[in-house]
Amino acid sequence: MNQPVRVGQRVTLKIDELAYSPDGIGRFENFIVFVPYSAPGDELEVLITEVRKNFSRGKIEKILKPSPDRIETPCPVFGECGGCHWQHLNYQKQLEYKEKIVRNALRAFEDVKIEKTIPADEHYYYRNKSQFPVDVNGKKTGLYALKSHYVVDVETCPLILRELNEIYSFIRKYLIANAFPITNLRHIVVRGSETKKASSVVLVLRDGSLDEATKLANLLREEFKAISVLFNINNTDTNIIMGMQTIMMFGDGTLVEEWPDIKYSVSPTSFFQTNTSQMRKMYDLVSSLVSEDLTAEACDLYCGAGTISLLIAKKFRKVIGIDEVKPAIADAKLNAELNKIENCEFLNGRVEDITANSLKTGYKPKVVILDPPRKGCEKSVLLNIGKLGAEEVVYVSCDVMTLARDLLELKAAGYKPIFIQPLDMFPNTFHVEVIVKLIRDESFIAPEPAPKVEVEVSTVAIHESAPRSLPRETKIAPVRSRESKPRPLAAAAKTEQVREKTAFVKQERQHDSAPAEARPVKKHLRPERDKGRNRKKFSPVRKSEGYRKQEHVPFQGTTQRQRKYLSSADTTGAAVVVAARPEKKAYRPDRGSPASRERTPYGGRSKGYKGKSKAGDRKGKKFGGPSKSRYKGGSSGPSKGRRDGRR
């Protein structure tokens, strides 16, 4: 389609709705324009920054008429920083838009009611963890701009805990005052415990130089008493923040969150929900959705530090947690000891591998909990869940798009959703958590694909349209086919080709292994070209199959090895079957002598050459430059390219 906009153009449009991204959606002459940090109802002047086939992107130049849902933002760098996306929207509208996003993504399950989004208690200062990139060359630290690695200078962030803001501000002021002395600093990672009021700092470094970082660590220890300081070495060119090596300066970085009925210990590299109060709401909801059965077992996939496993342990005889992150499994085992829970077992490994092995052992859990990362579950995991035969599945998702994909796979495996609950884990962003409960329903199981048919060895009659050279009856070798009926013609032709080639190879081996005086004269084989498919197949020369005229000529057409043993042995007059070859074409002097076609050391024609080549006049040119015929404006000088010769 013809795009009505171009890059650099300014257009006026109205925002109609929000996408599952930081963008609002507007239209200019019925052409979609995505505009970040906009609100439904905004009338904007937009600068077009990117144009694609079916859509374009732009940025706000001027707000002509603000939306009634738009509010003032407390952050001075909102719109530049990519840390949050919906800070300019009224919070009640944020909840409504998140519910609408979930409804649109899960429209394949329209018969299931989607509950109202559970709101957060705090809209600001709720995050217990944040990572601040450092630009040493630009002398600044902050957060990345939207969809880029450009560092926006940030003094404080209104989304993270207040005590973490104090620690980050102290580090930032130290770096600015000393002209960023830690030249190998990559990231500043701050983490805090909301219930215990403790915190930790991890300085991610490019190499093992610790002198300047140690000075900062000592100052942090003096300023903040309940703090752990660690160094992490990451010398790889990757977007993964943490490296494999961690050095403890003060404390071990472990934080504890505690409630009256349970407590969790989390190491610096283990996953833990960033909104502590909303996390407890979500996990209490998951526990309430699980049916209690003290005689059955449950399986918690992607269990992390065991947060869900330990909460539901009292409802089952045994709970098994699985995660591929080794430090997280170590934390889960420690948390089981802290809470004196003995019916939980935690396994370290890839979820898809362990679930596949469980099928072999006959493991049958009644309930399966899924809490995967943002990319969702592997397809093999969802198929294995269906084969395990669990009666209930509870899926906790942080990406509604991958959730929609995985629910379709679970539906094919025999599960149907009966409960869908959005929860706002990240206020002022477009992200939304969704909790779904599914139950086993045999009517949802998709039919299995037809099994592959194995054709037995048997005698099959050849169709009358087959070539007469084929026998009327041919034995077909065992083949596997997706079709319900074999294809005898193709199988017979393939068998014949394999037989002929095998005979040729066998003849070669017999000849090479025999003594020189006892070697038989080989029948000459030559490739027969299949013009239809432009491929070669080896077969003996036969006059009856339409080959050229055959003749018996001693030694002509034989290989050097054949001539050697034919001449040494007493085989005078011996002949081999060869194909008649056409005579070589006569030499045409009008095309120049072979000497005239020789190249000079620099790639040009020799001085004795009098004619013109197809590339143009190159009479004795040192470098064989481009001809005037190739360039309408004339030659631009000698060329050293490979087109006319190589040094």
Mean pLDDT of the chain: 79
92 assigned to some structural domain = no
Q: Among 417, 444, 471, which residue terminates a domain?
A: 444
pLDDT (average), residues 105-121:
93
Comparing CA positions, the residue from 212, 211, 210 lying closest to residue 232 is 210
Task: Return the pLDDT at 521.
Answer: 54
User: Given 81, 299, 303, 398, which residue is catalytic?
Assistant: 398
List, in sequence order, every residue forming a beta bridge with 346; answer none if it has no partner. Answer: 321
Phi, psi torsion values for 317, nearest 5 degrees: -65, -40
Amino acid found at 503:
A
pLDDT band of residue 50 (cuts 50, 70, 90) is very high
233 assigned to some structural domain = yes
pTM summary value:
0.68
The two tokens of residue 44 are: 């904007």
Q: DSSP states of 518-583 as a string?
A: GPPPPPPEEEEEETTTTEEEEEE--GGGTPPPEEEETTTT--HHHHHHHHHTT-TT--EEEE--PP
Task: Return the pLDDT at 269.
Answer: 83
CATH code for position 310: 3.40.50.150
Residue 339 CA, distance from chain mean position = 39
Q: How many CB atoms lie within 10 A of CB 584?
A: 6
Bridge-based pairing state of the strands 23-28 and 10-18? antiparallel
My answer on whether 242 and 317 are in the same domain is no
Residue 398 annotated as catalytic = yes
253 assigned to some structural domain = yes
pLDDT (average), residues 596-606:
46
My answer on whether 199 and 296 are in the same domain is no
My answer on whether 308 and 336 are in the same domain is yes
| pLDDT surpassing 60 at residue 48 | yes
My answer on whether 147 and 58 are in the same domain is no
CB 158 within 8 A of CB 125: yes
For the packed helices 91-105 and 400-412, what is the interaxial angle rounded to 10 degrees?
A: 30
Torsion angle of C-alpha atoms 441, 444, 445, 446, degrees rounded to 10: 180
> Alpha-carbon distance 213 to 218, whole Å?
9
> Alpha-carbon distance 452 to 622, whole Å?
67
Return the exposure string of 625-635: e unless at least 16 CB atoms fall within 10 Å of the residue's CB, then b.
bbbeeeeeeeb
pLDDT band of residue 451 (cuts 50, 70, 90) is low
80 assigned to some structural domain = no
Q: First-to-last CA distance in the chain?
A: 50
My answer on whether 284 and 388 are in the same domain is yes
Task: Return the pLDDT at 252.
Answer: 87
List, in sequence order, every residue forming a beta bridge with 35; answer none if it has no partner. Answer: 24
My answer on whether 293 and 403 are in the same domain is yes
pLDDT band of residue 373 (cuts 50, 70, 90) is very high
Task: Return the pLDDT at 520.
Answer: 55
Q: Among 257, 279, 301, which residue terminates a domain?
A: 257
| pLDDT surpassing 50 at residue 236 | yes
pLDDT tens track for 203-225: 999 998 999 999 999 999 999 98
pLDDT band of residue 96 (cuts 50, 70, 90) is very high
pLDDT tens track for 391-448: 999 999 999 999 999 999 999 999 999 999 999 999 999 999 999 999 998 765 555 5
Comparing CA positions, the residue from 604, 597, 595, 598 lying closest to residue 645 is 604
Count of structural domains within the chain:
4
> Alpha-carbon distance 140 to 188, whole Å?
12
Amino acid found at 555:
F
121 assigned to some structural domain = no
CB 34 within 8 A of CB 85: no
Task: Return the pLDDT at 515.
Answer: 64
Torsion angle of C-alpha atoms 34, 35, 36, 39, degrees rounded to 10: -110
**Lowest mean pLDDT segment, chosen from 42-51, 413-422, 628-637:** 628-637
- DSSP three-state, residue 369: strand
Q: Among 49, 70, 91, which residue terminates a domain?
A: 70
Comparing CA positions, the residue from 167, 158, 237, 165 lying closest to residue 203 is 167
My answer on whether 47 and 174 are in the same domain is no
pLDDT band of residue 177 (cuts 50, 70, 90) is very high
Cα angle 180, 184, 185; round to 5: 65
563 assigned to some structural domain = no
My answer on whether 437 and 466 are in the same domain is no
Comparing CA positions, the residue from 28, 30, 158, 139 lying closest to residue 83 is 158
CATH code for position 27: 2.40.50.140
> Alpha-carbon distance 639 to 616, whole Å?
13
The two tokens of residue 526 are: 């030559």
My answer on whether 380 and 454 are in the same domain is no
My answer on whether 148 and 224 are in the same domain is yes
pLDDT (average), residues 469-473:
44
pLDDT (average), residues 460-481:
42
| pLDDT surpassing 50 at residue 578 | no
> Alpha-carbon distance 417 to 1, whole Å?
40
CATH code for position 237: 2.40.50.1070
**Domain extent at residue 165:** 129-257
| pLDDT surpassing 80 at residue 359 | yes
Listed in sequence order, the residues at least 6 apart from 555 whose beta carbon sits closer than 8 Å to its beta carbon are: 563, 566, 567, 576
Residue 386 CA, distance from chain mean position = 25
Phi, psi torsion values for 444, nearest 5 degrees: -85, -10
pLDDT tens track for 498-514: 777 777 777 776 766 66
**Lowest mean pLDDT segment, chosen from 79-88, 194-203, 528-537, 573-582:** 573-582
109 assigned to some structural domain = no
289 assigned to some structural domain = yes
pLDDT band of residue 491 (cuts 50, 70, 90) is low
My answer on whether 134 and 183 are in the same domain is yes
My answer on whether 429 and 453 are in the same domain is no
Residue 462: DSSP 8-state: P
